[in-house]
């Protein structure tokens, strides 16, 4: 029997879930308070890989890369095949040991990853200064994309499958549905996948979740380099090729951000630090910043998402720790299956927390 399903949030996860649900025969309406992908999706770095050491995360990562590849070439979306490397400095034993443990876990779960000798890292990334690299690793099942193009393609697929997408339409939860433009609309199931706004939307409806939005930053340098994607774990920054040069990011603020009043521009201190680290790592004398920006990620007490039923007829999807976009294809698919009756992922059950927990924000890439 076809059900009426409402989705709050027009980012990558919400759009994927909407498309998959409609393709399965459900009647879906998606509400977005702004333009599609105007939130975290549009500000994501577009780094894509399946390099996770945990069994559940590895499965989700692998499935997402499969779906990204299948979609590549549809409209403007393209999955750019690019290996991903990460490394710790030779005097950083703690992170070096963590990388060894990660790779061992990945291999146990079938991820195509391996440890690299420093000289092999140098051969793979000749533009990168690897003189201080100690422990390094390589994941081959990886690539990058422009996140906005994924959202565009998924929106087109969703509309083609019959989804009613309403942009610039803020809503609030109401008993058995939502209030939109002052009118109550009833739904059998409500899915809240509104990124950093998810907590506020649920709180206004009397529901608490253990999630905190936090701010991250990135920039693009006018620097044409032949390089894989990578993460310098000891220095705490990541990089990937970009059509305009080189994208560099992190700039994590380990404090909770206001999803309404946060600063969308990159801080001067982050830009200066990123320029210094990139100049040292790539030997760039005076790179030019093409643009710099900030985005919001969402943290949970244990670093795992809140993905599942919060109450009868109310489903929540948030808490991605900065890895939401790269896992959106599998997360949206999982939401669609779970809403249609399949078992959920116990480790991600949002009711494992009361919503009153105090916890620190931990950057998603930190080892």
Query: Is residue 83 in a domain?
Result: no
d(CA 151, CA 147): 7
| Residues 152 and 289 both lie in one domain | no
Q: Are 294 and 178 in a shared domain?
A: no
Among candidate residues 280, 299, 318, the one where a domain is terminated: 299
The pLDDT value recorded for residue 83 is 98
The sign one gets for the Cα dihedral 99, 140, 68, 290 is positive
Ranges under pLDDT 70 in the chain: none
| pLDDT recorded at residue 366 | 76
Last residue of a domain, one of 278, 299, 320: 299
Domain that holds residue 234: 212-299
Please report whether residue 328 resides in a domain: yes
Residue 172 and residue 291 share a domain: no
Contact between 262 and 296 under an 8 Å Cβ cutoff? The reply is yes
| Domain co-membership, 265 together with 325 | no
Query: 279 and 268, same structural domain?
Result: yes
> Do 314 and 235 fall into the same domain?
no
Regarding whether 305 and 283 lie in a shared domain, the answer is no
- Asked if 206 and 308 sit in the same domain, the reply is yes
Q: Is 311 exposed, middle or buried (0-12, 13-18, 19+ CB in 10 A)?
A: middle
The number of distinct structural domains making up the chain is 2
Does residue 36 lie within any of the structural domains?
yes
User: Do 206 and 223 have their domain in common?
Assistant: no
Distance of CA 184 to the CA centre of its chain: 32
Is residue 102 assigned to a domain? no
User: Both 196 and 308 in a single domain?
Assistant: yes
What gap in Å lies between CA 14 and CA 42, rounded to an integer? Answer: 13
Q: Check the CA dihedral 259-263-265-269 and report its sign.
A: negative
Domain CATH for 241: 3.30.9.10
Whether residues 160 and 282 fall in one domain: no
Contact 128, 229 (CB under 8 A): no
The answer to whether 13 touches 151, Cβ cutoff 8 Å, is no
Instruction: Cite the beta strand spans of the chain per DSSP E.
Output: 4-8, 27-31, 47-49, 80-81, 84-89, 113-116, 133-139, 142-144, 164-166, 171-174, 177-180, 183-186, 189-192, 212-221, 229-232, 237-242, 245-250, 289-299, 306-311, 314-318
**For residue 348, which phi and psi values (nearest 5 degrees)?**
-105, 0
- 288 and 151 in one domain? no
d(CA 287, CA 179): 49
pLDDT score recorded for residue 253: 93
Dihedral sign (CA 302, 303, 304, 310):
positive
Predicted pLDDT at 150? 98
Instruction: Report strand pairing: 164-166 vs 27-31.
Output: parallel
In a domain, 105, yes or no: no
CA 210 from centre of chain:
18
Domain annotation covers residue 267: yes
Domain-located, residue 247: yes
Domain boundary among 299, 317, 336: 299
Domain at 21, CATH number: 3.50.50.60
Q: What does the pLDDT read at residue 160?
A: 98
Residue 80 maps to a domain? no
Q: Can you tell me the distance from the alpha carbon of 202 to that of 220, in angstroms, rounded to the nearest whole number?
A: 35
Q: Please provide the average confidence, as pLDDT, over all residues in the chain.
A: 96
């Amino acid at each position: 029997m076809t059900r009426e399903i409402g989705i709050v949030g027009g980012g990558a996860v919400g759009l994927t879930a909407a498309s998959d649900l409609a393709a399965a025969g459900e009647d879906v309406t998606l509400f977005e308070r702004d333009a599609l992908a105007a939130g975290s999706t549009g500000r994501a770095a577009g780094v894509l890989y399946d390099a996770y050491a945990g069994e559940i995360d590895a499965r989700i990562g692998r499935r997402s890369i499969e779906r990204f590849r299948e979609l590549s070439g549809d409209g403007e979306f393209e999955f750019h095949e690019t290996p991903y490397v990460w490394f710790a400095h030779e005097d950083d034993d703690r992170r070096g040991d963590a990388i060894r443990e990660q790779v061992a876990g990945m291999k146990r779960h079938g991820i195509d990853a391996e440890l690299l000798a420093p000289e092999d890292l140098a051969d793979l990334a000749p533009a990168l200064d690897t003189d201080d690299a100690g422990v390094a690793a390589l994941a081959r099942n990886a690539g990058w994309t422009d996140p906005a193009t994924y959202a565009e393609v998924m929106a087109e697929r969703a509309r083609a499958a019959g989804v009613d997408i309403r942009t610039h339409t803020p809503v609030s939860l109401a008993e058995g549905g939502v209030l939109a433009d002052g009118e109550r609309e009833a739904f059998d199931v409500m899915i809240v996948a509104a990124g950093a706004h998810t907590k506020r939307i649920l709180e206004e409806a009397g529901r608490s979740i253990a999630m905190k939005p936090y701010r991250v930053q990135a920039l693009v340098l006018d620097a044409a380099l032949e390089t894989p994607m990578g993460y310098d774990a000891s220095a705490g920054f990541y990089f990937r090729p970009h059509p305009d040069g080189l994208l560099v990011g992190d700039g994590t603020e380990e404090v909770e951000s206001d999803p309404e009043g946060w600063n969308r521009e990159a801080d001067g201190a982050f830009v200066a630090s990123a320029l210094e680290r990139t100049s040292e790592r790539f030997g760039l004398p005076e790179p030019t910043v093409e643009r710099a920006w900030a985005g919001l990620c969402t943290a949970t007490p244990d670093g795992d998402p809140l993905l599942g039923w919060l109450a009868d007829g109310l489903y929540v999807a948030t808490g991605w720790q900065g890895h939401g976009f790269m896992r959106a294809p599998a997360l949206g698919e999982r939401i669609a299956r779970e809403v249609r009756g399949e078992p959920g992922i116990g480790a991600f059950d949002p009711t494992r927390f009361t919503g009153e927990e105090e916890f620190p924000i931990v950057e998603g890439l930190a080892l």
